[in-house]
């Protein structure tokens, strides 16, 4: 039996620093608190994505079982692949947010440069649950 995919909305903010944008391919891997994974091979809308000082929005088709609860994501991995439009651009990623309908599943302020020639994957992994002292999950930055 075919299950209808679940829509997950992702917002990617590119920083305002000089030459912050990239034309390289950006992909995502999301893992929810139950271990269900959703991937986006290329985050690419029509026009220029990931330009300096831009906010780009994407709708992902995820498995129906993805993010069934209101728990935050346990992991988000960003892939930065060189050269799909030629060359390899550094990219200054400011923030990424993930929503299911009107519920915020994830937000993280990276405020960091990435270079596909040195680091092709990076992300964050949850180290505390949303049941911590301040009620917010805590994430640790990872480089792969």
C-alpha triplet 56, 93, 38: angle, nearest 5°: 65
In this predicted structure, the answer to whether residue 131 has a pLDDT above a threshold of 60 is no
52 vs 84: which has the higher pLDDT: 52
Residue holding tokens 């305002």? 16
3-state helix, strand, coil in the chain (%, to 5): 0, 50, 50
- Confidence grade of residue 137 (pLDDT, cut at 50, 70, 90): low
Domain ranges of the chain: 6-143
* pTM, full prediction: 0.84
| CA gap 12, 109 in Å, rounded | 10
In the CATH scheme, what is the code of domain 6-143?
Answer: 2.60.60.20
Segment 53-100, tens digit of pLDDT: 999 999 999 999 999 887 878 999 998 887 655 567 889 999 999 999
Q: What pLDDT, on the 0 to 100 scale, is given for residue 72?
A: 79
- The b/e string for 102-131 (b: 16+ C-beta within 10 A; e otherwise) is eeebbbbebeeebebeeebbbbbebeeeee
């Amino acid at each position: 039996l075919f299950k209808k995919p679940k829509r997950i909305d992702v917002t990617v903010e590119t920083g305002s620093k000089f030459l912050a944008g990239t034309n390289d391919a950006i992909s995502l891997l999301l893992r929810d608190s139950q271990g269900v994974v959703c991937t986006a091979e290329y985050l690419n809308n029509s026009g220029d994505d990931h330009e300096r000082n831009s906010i780009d929005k994407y709708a992902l088709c995820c498995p129906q079982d993805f993010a069934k609860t209101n728990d935050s994501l346990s992991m988000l991995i960003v892939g930065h692949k060189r050269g799909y439009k030629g060359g390899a651009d550094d990219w200054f990623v400011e923030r990424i947010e993930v929503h299911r309908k009107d519920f915020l599943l994830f937000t993280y302020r990276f405020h960091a440069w990435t270079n596909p020639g040195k680091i092709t994957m990076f992300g964050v992994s949850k180290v505390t649950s949303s049941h911590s002292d301040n009620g917010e999950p805590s994430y640790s930055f990872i480089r792969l």
